[in-house]
Amino acid sequence: MTDLFRLDDRNVIVIGAASGIGEAVALGAARQGARVGCLDVRAPDCARVAERIRAAGGRADEGVVDITDAAGTDAALRRAADTWGGLDAVVCTPSINVRKSILTYTDEEFERVVTLNLKGSFNVLRAAGRLMTARRTGSIVLFSSIRSQVVEPGQAVYAATKAGIVQLVRTAAAEFGPSGVRVNAVAPGVVETPLTAPITANPTWHSAYAAKSVFNRWARADEMVGPTLFLVSEAASFVTGTVLFADGGWTAVDGRFTPPGM
């Protein structure tokens, strides 16, 4: 059964590979036998991750891509596909958040969050979908969030983009499925990454979020590797159009009070 989860001789692109969840997924895919394309806007950090893979005996290339640039995203994925003879999987992790109330949000902040999170994910989905549907095989994994389902003050625009990603995934699954291409999303809870560093630096805020998990802690970036690679692998060969919540029970548990006698 372990062979179902192996990625030997698979060509896997990880966008956002320079740090955080993307870095962890790139390293994990290489350990499972994949040839990994590490892409990010930060070339030096991306090269560092690719070199870590090669130093451990894995296969990796690195490149630069700005997913807000549709033409550049198309070119980067097509270049990788031409070099490798096709893409088996594309994972897209980047996002940003500006935590402000709706009444104080600026047009520039709105554009910045929506452009990266939603338009960027769409650009990757479209570029990968064009290549994979032509080959009639492949798996695309985008990153949503628990914020696609539950919100709090200051999360309006970020949450809207993450909910939008869910609907992009579902629609793409319906459109690409007849061509043998699967499309899914991972929805983390709170994960210790550079994106969440301002929260982890605030003990009260950090503890409040930890308490929302049934494990009373945050996730590590490497704990997103298993859910992601499951969706990439043959173990998920009949899984498409779904959202895999890797949130420590956050969206399942309505309150933490245990009634007497339980």
Q: Which among 23, 26, 120, 158 is annotated as catalytic? A: 158
Question: Which stretches within 106-202 are classed as H helix?
Answer: 107-114, 121-135, 156-176, 197-200
**Each residue's pLDDT tens digit, 55-101:** 999 999 999 999 999 999 999 999 999 999 999 999 999 999 999 99
Is 63 in contact with 57 (CB distance < 8 Å)? no
Instruction: Report if residue 249 sits inside a domain.
Output: no
The CATH number for 102's domain is 3.40.50.720
Residue 126 covered by a domain: yes
Q: What is the pLDDT of residue 256?
A: 66
pLDDT in tens, 148-188: 999 999 999 999 999 999 999 999 999 999 999 999 999 99
Mean predicted confidence (pLDDT) in 188-214? 89
- Taking the C-alpha atoms of residue 114 and residue 178, their distance in angstroms, rounded to an integer, is 30
Domain count, the chain: 1
Residue range 120-134: mean pLDDT, rounded: 98
Cβ contact 133:181 at 8 Å: yes
Q: Is residue 250 a part of any domain in this protein?
A: no
Q: Choose among 207, 196, 211: nearest CA to 248.
A: 211
Give yes or no: 105 in active site.
no
Kindly state the tokens that stand for 105.
């949000």
Q: Is residue 10 part of a domain?
A: yes
Instruction: Write down the pTM of the prediction.
Output: 0.95
Residue 259 located in a structural domain:
no
Whether 111 maps to a domain, the answer reads: yes
Structural domain of 33: 2-240
- The answer to whether residue 257 sits within a structural domain is no
**pLDDT score recorded for residue 149:** 96
CA atoms lying within 13 Å on the CB side of residue 188: 27
Dihedrals phi, psi of 188, to nearest 5 degrees = -75, 165
Pairing of strands 35-40, 11-15: parallel
Cα angle for residues 44, 90, 234 (degrees, 5° grid): 130
Residue 90 inside a domain? The answer is: yes
Report residue 19 CA to chain centroid gap: 12
